[in-house]
Structure 1
Amino acid sequence: MSRISGALLVAVGLTAIAGLSCAAATTPTGGAVAIDEAGVSAADGTSLSVDRTTSQATNETTASSPNGTSPPELTAAYPNPTAYGDEGEYLVLEAPNGTELGAYRLDDGHREARLPDRTVGGRIVLTANRSAVPDGVRGPIVEWSEMVPLSNAGESLTLSDGNGTVETLEYEDAPEGEVLRPDTDRRWRALGATSFEPVVGGPGSVRAFALPDSPSVPLAVIESAERRVLLAGYTFTSERVADRLIAVRERGVAVEVIVDGAPVGGLTERSAAVLDRLTAANVSVRVVGGDGGRYEFQHGKYAVVDDRAIVLTENWKPAGVGGASSRGWGVVVDSPAIVDGLSRTFRADSGSRGAVPWEAFRGDVSLESAAPSRRQYPARIESQSVAVERAELVVAPDNAAGRVQGLLANASDSVRIVQVSIGGRDDRLLREAIAAAERGVEVRILLSGAWYVEEENRRLVDQLRTLSAREDLPLSVRLAEPGGRYEKIHAKGVVIDGETVVLGSLNWNDNAYDDNREVAVVLHGTEAGAYFRKVFERDWRGGITLVPAGTVLTLVAVVLPVARLGRRVEFASQPGTEREVPGARID
């Protein structure tokens, strides 16, 4: 990921947690698994039994500690705190009950120190200054005044006992404010970041809808609230959504909102006005991404309303849920597992160290002016209740990219991809889609025609066209032509084999996979697949309308679409797209 490019980790003799892959998995109670900087626990706080395997060590390791038990294990390190002078750096040990810490020594190649004289068991946090350890780090915390300082530039840490080396931990280039977890694929994690596994629910039915055609669907769900509304967004400027939230709050419904504190382009005056209104109406509004924030962007777009959840590709603004601009996909889900998973995600993010009340954030923020979208579009695609065999909740950076990659790897017939843009030819999900085409799977990719990154996306599509022609692949790419039905593509979705749908905030680029909080759902079922494939195919065809023969105007009515078709095919060879990555435009 960009913040830790060049970081290299080699863990010798370290343990690895088995089974925490990006495949769908749940705890015995159906909850997601959370991994923080101090260990593993179920999302509901219960403990989990974990199978551990030990990697091959280059040095001889001891089979047991001096008192006959297994030796302690180094499971986390926090070498580069954000605090001045690196105050608060710590190590985490996993020790069997009855472990005598004083029997072990830690050596960084320059200095060696004996661990404190304590008999311990379980997770132990070792630090030179207990009071400087960041809030939220699970203990117990053991102060170790002689602790070997941890190097930001990297080093080799050796834990040994009287018989020799127990294990060695090597790392380079410690990113500020991130924790080293050698038992995870993403070795460095922002302090306090979650590591949820996909949550599975169903069977049941969901309400599928498309925007700008059905902006009333999310509004109606919010209006129905009786107990709670938890709403997460990247940007929030919709007065109509704010009106509904204030109305249900006045009825006694608990309403909480989180938004990103630094969207690309900055917070707008309109956004500040809406958030001011919500706060004045006793709606809890928190801004995510300040000092100590875990993610680059809070980019998820969803809401939990009582026992239902809305998951969107669109922002809470007129251009998104207001039906005033963007082609988007959305779904309303009532699966208890999905709703609970989203609630946990919301709580984890709204309660994080980087989340601050809007009132406290408001005074220091500079605001940008921006005019809202006010265009209107025809409602040609109706929402529909469709059956699903099961649904999955996936989030980034925890599991979403790996799960979608796995789904693409299993495609056998067709893949339909709609994205604002794609990070490039080497994008990991695009590579998987190309691999599907190489297996004979028909792959179609529909991209936005927005002007602002057209040139770079023309280059990408030229590369894909060249590849497709050279390898004779069933791979085609097209720039969307709205034809008056919407302004631009903003959906982020995939339909696989006509029966698996992925939709949500996940853009296809490394920033979304590794750095942002993203939320998406996977819908399994032929009815859901048919609905969103129909939306895709209509947009793939663009504004073409077939005119019945036998009228005086048949020739004229057909000539114009044919001319338009010719232009579309030519334009599809060199399309431009709207890119959604930090540094350009993301929403």
Structure 2
Amino acid sequence: MSRHHWSVVTLSIALVVLSVVPAPVATGAEGGNETGVDPAVVTAVPNPVADGDAGEFVVVRVPPRSTANWTLGDGETVVPLPADRPASEFALSADPNRTRRLTDAPAVEAPELSLANGGERLRLRRDGAVVARLDYRDAPEGERLVRTDDGRRWRPVGIDPRRVHTYGRANVTGFLLPDSPDLPVETLRDARSRVLLAGYTLTSERVVDALVAANRRGVEVAVLVDADPVGGRSARGMAALDRLADAGVEVTVLGGPGARFDYYHPKYAVVDDRALVMTENWKPAGVGGRSSRGWGVVVDSPVVAADLAGLFRADAGWRDGIPWRRYRRGSVSEDDPPAEGRYPSRIDPTTATASSVRVLTAPGNAESGLVDTIDAAENRVDVIQPSVGRRDGPLLRATIRAAERGVEVRILLSGSWYVTEENAALVDWLNGVAERRDLPLSARVAEPGGRFEKIHAKGVVADDVVVVGSLNWNENAVSENREVSVAVRSDRLAAHFREAFEADWRGNTGTDRTTWIVVAGAAAALVLAVVVARKTVRFD
């Protein structure tokens, strides 16, 4: 069960209803639409992580110049809104000093405010008439109601879902792993002013060497990784973070009580005015080129770099960002056998000029942004993923919709032992759908044929747009993890990654698929026995 299983369980039983009631709103100077501001109960934090729920608050929005009598009530208590409001949107709190640590909205003292964790029926009134409402039940600890694409849901305090940020022309280098393992490390080595490295795990000695060397020559270096990766932190991972901290590098881990994300899972680095965004972890199997098929891009753009630097600072700067030296735990998990594969460099990196670059993040906009990209495709969509979650998930539905429009769709999944059966079943189902409905859709389990060990890439090529990043196609990734991807529009870059996809799609054509699955299944049984004995779980 995930780190925030308590939150997920609560979500399954929580009933959240939000509605705006326009009928009673008066017209004229007092009308919300007349001033461009619609009255609303924006969000609520009834159950902060604090003794006695200190700092609980409700954010409301009212027209800035309204002279009406505004109140917020819960059926028992009525809280008057102050006449000298600091902004049209502000937080009401009985303890504004604590509340200011939890929200960027200006905090206004409201001694009468008291929110029940079990539920409230909040009503915003103007001159006695209800203009907006917010009902909730079973408020999870440390969470607030936020707006998502499909309505409202609870989110940990500190997560501000971002819009898709779009930037203009940029030079972009696309590369593959394990084909080009030197490129990401050389990018780090070239740093002159800053390196902000974000990842799920960090065990690569080459990466640590590059970061320590950069720090010694005066480069600002900061590292942000997940506090509690599945299975625990390995001895190599502990040693890597210890060495960085000993060298004076700012090392922060994200997690602990009140953590905003189930897992901190991105794989990117801001290097001077460039953004390195990948599908791979900072370990030998990933950036070391020892195992995984991965995709990556280096975006030479000050504005994209500034965007990700801002995200890095925001993620590291919240209360669940803990200095490694303070968080460090003595117990470590047993190291997995190090990846020692050797693979040929068959496809060299390519550099292209992109007409636009979009930054996608989860929770918030990554799923909807990717769905929009697939929905806009007119000719071809190629998808490469380790696995796919629900068959009725928005991303898989988008690919089927594309095929229904006549778009050629191919989906390539990993043949790794731990997803062999589920991926084979999904491939059969997708191909069955295509055959029954005569759709230009096909799916396949990858047969590496010596090019790599397993698929770890999370990529899409939709016409002239390439999407590269950490986002797995499952519900937890899009809604509970921190994930980062970029969508790059470039004919040349799209051709580069489609060439790589085509080669991986063909794979080892000399091996019969049924035979390959049987062999993989036998190997899986052996490896699974070892894993069960060690009581560890993989999470990439």
What is the TM-score of this pair, normalised by structure 2?
Answer: 0.88
2:515 equivalent to 1:585: no
1:346 CA displacement: 0.8
Asked if structure 2 preserves the Cα contact closer than 8 Å seen for 1:389 and 1:524, the reply is: yes
In structure 1, how many angstroms separate the alpha carbons of the residues matched to 2:148 and 2:507? 48
In structure 1, how many angstroms separate the alpha carbons of the residues matched to 2:404 and 2:240? 49
Q: Which residue of 2 aligns with 1:94?
A: 61
Q: Which residue of 1 aligns with 2:189?
A: 223
Q: What SS class does the counterpart of residue 494 from structure 1 fall into? A: strand
2:493 equivalent to 1:540: no
Change (3 A) 1:223 1:186: farther
Q: Which residue of 2 aligns with 1:85?
A: 52
Q: Deviations over 1:505-540 (max 9, x none)?
A: 011011111111111111112100110001001011
Change (3 A) 1:114 1:332: closer
Q: Which residue of 1 aligns with 2:74?
A: 108
What is the aligned counterpart of 2:120 among 155, 163, 174?
155
Q: What SS class does the counterpart of residue 418 from structure 2 fall into? A: coil
Asked if structure 2 preserves the Cα contact closer than 8 Å seen for 1:105 and 1:112, the reply is: no
2:56 maps to a residue whose letter is: E
Change (3 A) 1:5 1:289: same
In structure 2, how many angstroms separate the alpha carbons of the residues matched to 1:248 and 1:106? 54
In structure 2, how many angstroms separate the alpha carbons of the residues matched to 1:526 and 1:536? 15
Q: Which residue of 2 aligns with 1:349?
A: 315
Asked if structure 2 preserves the Cα contact closer than 8 Å seen for 1:477 and 1:572, the reply is: no
Asked if structure 2 preserves the Cα contact closer than 8 Å seen for 1:75 and 1:183, the reply is: no
In structure 2, how many angstroms separate the alpha carbons of the residues matched to 1:124 and 1:323? 50
2:456 equivalent to 1:503: no
Change (3 A) 1:137 1:324: same
Q: Which moved more, 1:481-490 or 1:179-188?
A: 179-188
Identity level (%): 46
Q: What SS class does the counterpart of residue 92 from structure 2 fall into? A: strand
Q: Which residue of 1 aligns with 2:210?
A: 244
In structure 2, how many angstroms separate the alpha carbons of the residues matched to 1:413 and 1:162? 56
1:469 CA displacement: 2.1
2:49 maps to a residue whose letter is: T
What is the aligned counterpart of 1:568 among 513, 517, 520?
513
Change (3 A) 1:539 1:572: farther
2:410 maps to a residue whose letter is: R
1:215 CA displacement: 0.6
Higher helix residue share? 2
Q: Which residue of 2 aligns with 1:124?
A: 90
Change (3 A) 1:475 1:96: closer
Q: Deviations over 1:151-204 (max 9, x none)?
A: 333331123354432332222332322222458755233212122222222323
In structure 1, how many angstroms separate the alpha carbons of the residues matched to 2:187 and 2:151? 37
Asked if structure 2 preserves the Cα contact closer than 8 Å seen for 1:237 and 1:270, the reply is: yes
In structure 1, how many angstroms separate the alpha carbons of the residues matched to 2:348 and 2:400? 32
In structure 1, how many angstroms separate the alpha carbons of the residues matched to 2:339 and 2:448? 16
Give structure 1 stretches of 5+ with no counterpart. 14-54, 545-560
Q: Which residue of 2 aligns with 1:10?
A: 17
2:339 equivalent to 1:373: yes
What is the aligned counterpart of 1:209 among 175, 189, 194?
175
1:104 CA displacement: 3.9
In structure 2, how many angstroms separate the alpha carbons of the residues matched to 1:407 and 1:138? 32
1:131 CA displacement: 4.2
1:570 CA displacement: 7.0
What is the aligned counterpart of 2:136 among 168, 171, 192?
171
2:491 equivalent to 1:526: yes
Asked if structure 1 preserves the Cα contact closer than 8 Å seen for 2:414 and 2:420, the reply is: no
Change (3 A) 1:365 1:77: farther
1:304 CA displacement: 0.6
Asked if structure 1 preserves the Cα contact closer than 8 Å seen for 2:172 and 2:352, the reply is: yes
Query: Equivalences for 1:292-441 in 2 at 5 Å?
Result: 292-363=258-329, 366-441=332-407
In structure 2, how many angstroms separate the alpha carbons of the residues matched to 1:325 and 1:76? 45
Change (3 A) 1:191 1:485: same
Asked if structure 2 preserves the Cα contact closer than 8 Å seen for 1:269 and 1:368, the reply is: yes
What is the TM-score of this pair, normalised by structure 1?
Answer: 0.82
In structure 1, how many angstroms separate the alpha carbons of the residues matched to 2:318 and 2:312? 10
1:372 CA displacement: 1.7
Q: Which residue of 2 aligns with 1:512?
A: 477
In structure 1, how many angstroms separate the alpha carbons of the residues matched to 2:242 and 2:400? 47
Asked if structure 2 preserves the Cα contact closer than 8 Å seen for 1:275 and 1:285, the reply is: yes
Q: Which residue of 1 aligns with 2:429?
A: 463
Asked if structure 1 preserves the Cα contact closer than 8 Å seen for 2:477 and 2:483, the reply is: yes
Q: Which moved more, 1:201-210 or 1:172-181?
A: 172-181
Change (3 A) 1:462 1:139: closer
Change (3 A) 1:108 1:283: same
1:569 CA displacement: 6.9
In structure 2, how many angstroms separate the alpha carbons of the residues matched to 1:347 and 1:441? 40
In structure 2, how many angstroms separate the alpha carbons of the residues matched to 1:414 and 1:98? 52
Count the aligned residue pairs: 515
Change (3 A) 1:83 1:416: same
Q: What SS class does the counterpart of residue 453 from structure 1 fall into? A: helix
In structure 1, how many angstroms separate the alpha carbons of the residues matched to 2:367 and 2:79? 42
RMSD: 2.8
In structure 1, how many angstroms separate the alpha carbons of the residues matched to 2:111 and 2:255? 33
1:83 CA displacement: 2.0
In structure 2, how many angstroms separate the alpha carbons of the residues matched to 1:501 and 1:348? 26
Give structure 2 stretches of 5+ with no counterpart. 1-6, 528-535
Change (3 A) 1:129 1:569: same
In structure 2, how many angstroms separate the alpha carbons of the residues matched to 1:494 and 1:575? 26
In structure 1, how many angstroms separate the alpha carbons of the residues matched to 2:165 and 2:208? 30
1:399 maps to a residue whose letter is: N
1:479 CA displacement: 1.1
Change (3 A) 1:11 1:382: same
Change (3 A) 1:163 1:428: closer
Q: Which residue of 2 aligns with 1:61?
A: 25
Q: What SS class does the counterpart of residue 452 from structure 1 fall into? A: helix
